[in-house]
A and B are shown apart, each in its own frame.
Chain A
Amino acid sequence: MKVVRPIAAIALAALFFFPVYVVVTGMLKPVKDIQSSPLGLPAPPTGANLDAVLGREDGLYWSALINSVQITVLSVLALTLLSAMLAHYLVRSTARWTRPALLMLLAGLMIPPAVILQPVTQVLGAVGLMNSVVGVVCANVAYYLPFGVFVFSGFIGTVPIEMEEAASIDGASRFRLFWQVVFPTLRPAAASVMIFLGVWVWNDFLTPLIVLGPEAGTTVTVGVYRSVGEYSTNFGTLYAFSFLASLPVLLFFVALQKQFVAGLTTGAVK
């Protein structure tokens, strides 16, 4: 049994990881090698596929990267602040309507984007935010707000209220009370909110596809989809684009791996 466990674990993981291996080796091979020996190592590795994506005439990868970074950073910052403030109010307030409001927000966790997509474009169109990065950010903030509130409200319940009362007696304004007393205690929850939403927003497809439209460019995720037809049989380039589109999120994951798992543990299992 001592030997069986690691061997079984490694074998299963290797089988599971096979598609990732195909992509990472494939993007370093010339196209004809991908067809003839998909399993072999790239010998010698070529950077031609990566160059083809990075050096596109229309600069699609780079413009998409700028859009993705803007949308992700703005959405995650706005979501963290707004959902922390909202969750704090809903948990601490004694008003009668906060309980149903919290339940209604949490029900939002299960709404499929397909159900609201059409009217969302109408609302954004009416306020002049269609085909803009700001429009995508607004749609993201609204759609993912329930997740932020879910994590923060669970966490705020475990933070003692005495600290806030003390600060209140000392005459701190509501504003100072929140930013200097409450928010710093929410840091672990904020970390998991930012990590999860960062990955989800980066990977989002439908909202940037429809809200940005072809007019305002694409995000990297939409860029991968748009280039499928263009690279139809040129898998090396398609793999390279997929890899470059996922690279920021993979680096993010490697850097924050511990918090990632911790976030899943506290947010989910507790």
Chain B
Amino acid sequence: MLLSNRQPRKRHSVLVPVREFSGFALPGLFLYGLLVLVPIGWTVVLGFTDRNRFAPDTSWVGLDQFRRLLEDDQFWLVLRNTFVVTAIVVVVPNVLGLAIALLLDRDTLLYRLLRSVFFTPVILSGIVVSVIWQSMLRPDGVLNKVFGDVGWLSDPGIALYSISGILCWQMLGFCVVVYLAGLNGVPKELHEAAIVDGAGWWRRFRSVTWPMIASAVTINTVMLLISGFKVYEHVLVLTNGGPGRNTTASIAFDVIEKGVRGDRIGFAAAEATIMLCIIVALSGLVLRLLQRREVHL
């Protein structure tokens, strides 16, 4: 009893001298610093310059790039596109994933098999998924044999939603598996007690299941938020930003295009900096909001 009641110990350096360990941390920290932290700093700094691969010198331009960015219609367009995709990707696989997890929440061979069916797209690369869907969404593709003549990827009013839908298809299985794990963690006794108290299916879901799977909701929402916000490969393969100018371009797509072309590196860096600020702020906010309602037994 005495043993089990003691405080978790962190101060144990009498027995395990820390200094000798630090060598173990160095290789990882070194690579992370060199190839993640330094590049982040570099991007932020470049955003305050007029760097251009084809001009010999680079000079400091202060906030000019940011000002120009905020006045650029194309920037607002790609930002809007990114938010549309992110919003759809955060909501749809989350809701459908929970519904399917509830449907598959049985431990027999059939349901285990179906779980793998839903999980398969999660382990395919975005490129392969996009190639598959592109062939099906062509004007003469399989889907139009059923739907007639829909411009899935060629109608500017539809293409962005096609891309979002494909991303949802790919992420759905992840949500299903995380929700199944969450459902698995709900103690049976709680459901039994609720049944004894006369609670119906909806009441039990609302008052027992839902609060108990809060951490699964958090994981799925944050994961979907990050994946939706950085969407790139799907845009590249499916529409290459079109039809027309930037109708489906995401912010990641825009930053990479500008960076590869190389004529406006400073401008692209400013855009990347804004992208980083938005995703850090958004995921921080969502994490904070969702973790507040998590219960721990």
Type the 1/0 row for B106-132, where 1 means its CB is closer than 8 Å to any CB of A. 100011001111111101111110011
A22: which B residues are within 8 A, CB to CB?
132, 135-136, 142
**Residue A53 lies at the interface, judged by CB distance under 8 Å to chain B:** no
Closest to B23 in A: A174
Q: When the two chains form their complex, are residues A107 and B280 in contact, meaning their CB atoms are under 8 A apart?
A: yes
| Pair B18/A93 contact, Cβ less than 8 Å | yes
Q: Say yes or no: A269-B216 contact (C-beta < 8 A), given A145-B31, A246-B125.
A: yes
Tell whether B263 is near chain A: CB-to-CB under 8 Å: no
Residues of chain B contacted by A139 (CB below 8 angstroms) = 35
Q: Is the CB of A246 within 8 A of B126?
A: no
Interface bits A78-90 vs B (CB < 8 Å: 1, else 0):
0000110110111
B275–A114 CB distance below 8 A = yes
Cβ of B177 under 8 Å from chain A: yes
What CA separation (Å) do A85 and B123 show in the bound complex? 27
What's the Cα separation between A261 and B276 when bound, in Å?
31
| A17:B120 contact, CB within 8 angstroms | yes
Residues of B within 8 A of A202 (CB): 125
In contact, B127 and A165 (Cβ under 8 angstroms): no
| Distance between B162 CB and nearest chain A CB, rounded to angstroms | 13
Query: Number of A interface residues, CB 8 Å?
Result: 90
B219 x A117 contact (CB < 8 A): no
Q: Name which residue of chain B comes closest to A34, CB basis.
A: B135
Contact indicator A92/B21 (Cβ below 8 Å): yes
B215 touches A94 (CB 8 A): no
What B residues does A82 contact at CB under 8 A?
Answer: 27-28, 31
> Which B222-256 residues sit within 8 Å CB-CB of chain A?
226, 229-230, 232-233, 236-237, 251-252, 255-256
Name A203's contact: one of B115, B124, B265 (CB within 8 Å).
Answer: B124
Contacting B at CB under 8 A, from A75-110, are 82-83, 85-86, 88-90, 92-95, 101, 105, 107-110
Is residue B95 within 8 Å, beta carbon to beta carbon, of the partner chain?
no
Does B145 interact with chain A (Cβ within 8 Å)? Answer: yes
Contacts of A265 in B (CB 8 A): 181, 184
Of the four ranges (under 10, 10 to 19, 20 to 34, 35 or more), the interface on chain B belongs to 35 or more
Instruction: Report yes or no: A206 in contact with B256, Cβ–Cβ below 8 A.
Output: yes
Segment 1-30 of A: residues with Cβ below 8 Å from B: 5-6, 8-10, 12-13, 16-17, 19-20, 22-23, 26
Stretch at the interface among B9-17, B61-69, B147-155, B191-199: B9-17
Min Cβ gap A161→B in Å is 6
When the two chains form their complex, are residues A145 and B32 in contact, meaning their CB atoms are under 8 A apart?
A: yes
**Interface status of B36 (Cβ within 8 A of chain A):** yes
Whether A9 lies near B111 (C-beta < 8 A) is yes
Chain A proximity of B229: nearest CB distance (Å):
7
Give the residue name and chain of the B residue nearest to A243 (CB).
B128
With beta carbons under 8 angstroms apart, the residue of B145, B185, B230 that contacts A112 is B230
The answer to whether B88 has its CB under 8 Å from any CB of chain A is no
- Top 5 closest A-B pairs, CB basis? A203-B125, A142-B35, A119-B39, A112-B230, A119-B42
Q: A interface vs B, CB < 8 Å?
A: 5-6, 8-10, 12-13, 16-17, 19-20, 22-23, 26, 35, 38-39, 82-83, 85-86, 88-90, 92-95, 101, 105, 107-120, 122-124, 138-139, 141-143, 145-146, 149, 161, 164-165, 168-169, 174, 178, 199, 202-206, 210, 221-222, 224-225, 228, 235, 238-239, 242, 245-246, 249-250, 253, 257, 260-261, 264-265, 268-269
